[in-house]
Amino acid sequence: MNHTDIKNQAVVLEDGIYRSTLLENPDNLFDAVDENFSTAHECFLRGLEISRNKPFLGKRSGPNGAYEWITYQEAYDRAHEIGSGLLQLGVKAGVEEIISIYCKNRIEWTLIDLACAMYTVVLAGLYDTISAEASSYVIEQTESKVLICDNVSKMDKLFSTKSSYENLKTIVLVDHPGDDFTNVEKERNVKIVSLDAVQEMGKNNLEELVPPKPENLFCLCYTSGSTGLPKGVITSHRNVTSMVVSTEILMKGHNPYNPDTVNFSYLPLPHAFERLNQLLTYTKGGRIGFFQGDVKKLFDDLQELKPTIFTAVPRILNRVYDKIHNELKSPIKMKILEWALRSKQAEVEKGIFRNNSWWDILILKKIQTLFGGNIKYLVIGSAPILAKILNFFRYALGCQVYEGYGQTESTGIVSITLPGECDAGHVGPPAPNNYVKLVDVPEAGYFQADGKGEICVKGMNVTGGYFKLPEKTAEIFDSDGWLHTQDIGMFLPNGTLKIIDRKKNIFKLSQGEYIAPEKIENIYLLCPLISQIFVAGDSLQSYIVAIVVPNDENLLELAKLKGIEGTYEELCDNKEIKNIILTDIQEIGKKHDLKGFEQVKAITLTSVPFGIENGLISATLKNKRFQLLKTFQQQVSDMYKISNGS
């Protein structure tokens, strides 16, 4: 079991400040960096020492192929050569010069990341689905001389809004077709080379390493830009290595990261948590296998890789949960599954996590195989997840589940559940490397005196601010240096943090009631008839409405059952179908104690999914509320007109 008391997970200091109970020296919070790995480069050297000739980075050789691996030593040698090659391109070592990368998750991404750390070069990652406008902004703000792209199409996208960039001198293509780019180079005033050529240059001119210091900039993690242009979050080596030490303290005796770890990389690498996920893996000498780049093939990759740890966002787990329950047509099968889960729950509550009981072999194996059959740890972050879904996977997979809370500005983690935790509905106590407190949000009726308020953080994991944006930086810090997260939380009696609202997403209805749309959306997503939902409101109205993307398979099945003919698109325009879905989600809302003003009174069905491509969800799969409202403004207005009888 865990090395702390689950009933007492945090210490309350003066002024309502909470800290972890796991610190051996409570006064040493801001010095919690191990001297042996105070930079990302030193973290990799530790992994190299542990697993020098063992597999490190892997990719599939084809759609049906096995994973092929390079070792830690091979990765070190290639990173050294790539880093030396970057210096041959004019990048300066040791001065925190910034270069940009616009690639999907792949072996080369990590090699370039390691290469930059070897020479105190800073990597700014562009999300794979970033808009041309946002990417142009990042390249110009960072004054990048070098830009690394997957391929020609990515390069062309970056130039779709302008002909050239003032500081950009070289574009490095990872997948280089061998074409003659002479005309393109002249037109865009850049040199285009292959990554292989850069590595060869470095191999022939190996440079002595210029490793960073803890205070040096490690990377710029740009926000996904859901409310405007992305902001570059300044992330130091001290920030990320404090998270490594913090994880060591948190997971003592139960650390999911060890030399036998097999990690699956599919969440965007420009995202702070995925970057941290990789760092934690290679510090311990574990393996990282990359997905093929297609989310539709995610579970195919999982079944081939058989990872020991899976970092999931709630949206993926919600879909799997719905699919499993939709396929259980028989009440008898559902009852047997419930018996199996209750049996596994009893084991978990005794600290037993396994997947080889009779229930596992006879009933739960299919679910476990979906994730590769070897999951020992499930890490959940990015957005709230319903307790019953979290517990379903805890029992069905027979694994430790960690639910964390954090943001880019806190290097990924502010709090996380502890090993041995069996309850759901909270995100654990503060991490050992930060303090947490709540502050009043009077306009929304939240007060620290009542145990509720905006979550504020101070610690070694907290950013120094936004790159070249002092005004924006000033907006997130108060005069005492506390980072204001915009999230509303409350501490439970055992010292764990529960997220209850999002400050900037809350809106008020005409009668003065406040609405937290994300909470409502997460409850309605339990309806098997819907795939996505966006709850909208107007301060001049007394109720809320929603845009709904129906689940195509279940919608067609419902239509067949009701004798309603039509394509998926036609069914989305069918009034009877719409009323059935509205009634269903309202019933689910009642079961989950939504108040009357929290229930939607009208919905519009759309056959167009909210996608990254159409800019309606972020790279981390969250609703981009401003863009959704802009896109569906007419439908929202129409729903209010119809409901009001106008």
Query: What's the token pair of residue 265?
Result: 């990389």
Measured between alpha carbons, how far is 342 from 347 in angstroms, rounded to an integer? 9
Domain ranges of the chain: 10-32+308-502, 40-288, 507-644
pLDDT tens across 426-466, in order? Answer: 999 999 999 999 999 887 778 999 999 999 999 999 999 99
Identify whether the C-beta of residue 602 lies closer than 8 Å to the C-beta of residue 582: yes
Helices (H) and strands (E) counted in the chain, each on its own, are: 22, 26
Domain 10-32+308-502 has CATH 3.30.420.40: no
Identify whether the C-beta of residue 370 lies closer than 8 Å to the C-beta of residue 303: yes
Listed in sequence order, the residues at least 6 apart from 366 whose beta carbon sits closer than 8 Å to its beta carbon are none
Same fold, 10-32+308-502 and 40-288: yes
Q: State the CB neighbour count (10 A cutoff) for residue 300.
A: 15
Exposed/middle/buried for residue 277 (C-beta within 10 Å: 0-12, 13-18, 19+) = buried
pLDDT at 32: 47
Q: Which CA distances in Å does 435 have to 17, 160, 383, 534, 596? A: 7, 45, 21, 34, 37
Q: What CATH number does domain 40-288 carry, 3.40.50.720, 3.90.1300.10, 3.40.1190.20, 3.40.50.12780? A: 3.40.50.12780
| Strand boundaries in 475-612, DSSP class E | 483-491, 497-502, 507-508, 514-515, 530-536, 544-550, 600-605
Phi and psi at 552, nearest 5°, equal -60, -45
pLDDT at 34: 58
Listed in sequence order, the residues at least 6 apart from 289 whose beta carbon sits closer than 8 Å to its beta carbon are 57, 58, 59, 67, 262, 263, 264, 265, 301, 305, 307
What secondary structure, in 3-state letters, does 255-309 show? CCCCCCCEEEECCCCCCHHHHHHHHHHHHCCCEEEECCCCHHHHHHHHHHHCCCE
Identify whether the C-beta of residue 53 lies closer than 8 Å to the C-beta of residue 73: yes
Angle between helix 314-327 and 387-397 (nearest 10): 70
Percent of the chain residues topping a pLDDT of 70: 96
Q: Which residues of the chain have pLDDT under 50?
A: 1-2, 32, 646
Identify whether the C-beta of residue 164 lies closer than 8 Å to the C-beta of residue 189: yes
Torsion of CA 414, 417, 423, 426, to 10 degrees: 10
Homologous superfamily in CATH for domain 507-644: ANL, C-terminal domain (3.30.300.30)
Query: What's the token pair of residue 430?
Result: 């503060």
pLDDT at 232: 96
Measured between alpha carbons, how far is 109 from 288 in angstroms, rounded to an integer? 12
Q: Which residue has the tokens 């005796």?
A: 253
Q: State the CB neighbour count (10 A cutoff) for residue 492.
A: 15
Q: Which CA distances in Å does 80 have to 41, 86, 113, 144, 291? A: 12, 10, 11, 21, 25
Q: Which CA distances in Å does 262 have to 280, 286, 320, 339, 399? A: 12, 6, 22, 31, 15
CA proximity to 538, closest of 446, 638, 619: 638
Measured between alpha carbons, how far is 545 from 633 in angstroms, rounded to an integer? 11
pLDDT at 2: 45
Identify whether the C-beta of residue 451 lies closer than 8 Å to the C-beta of residue 490: yes
Q: Are strands 232-236 and 544-550 parallel, antiparallel or unpaired?
A: unpaired
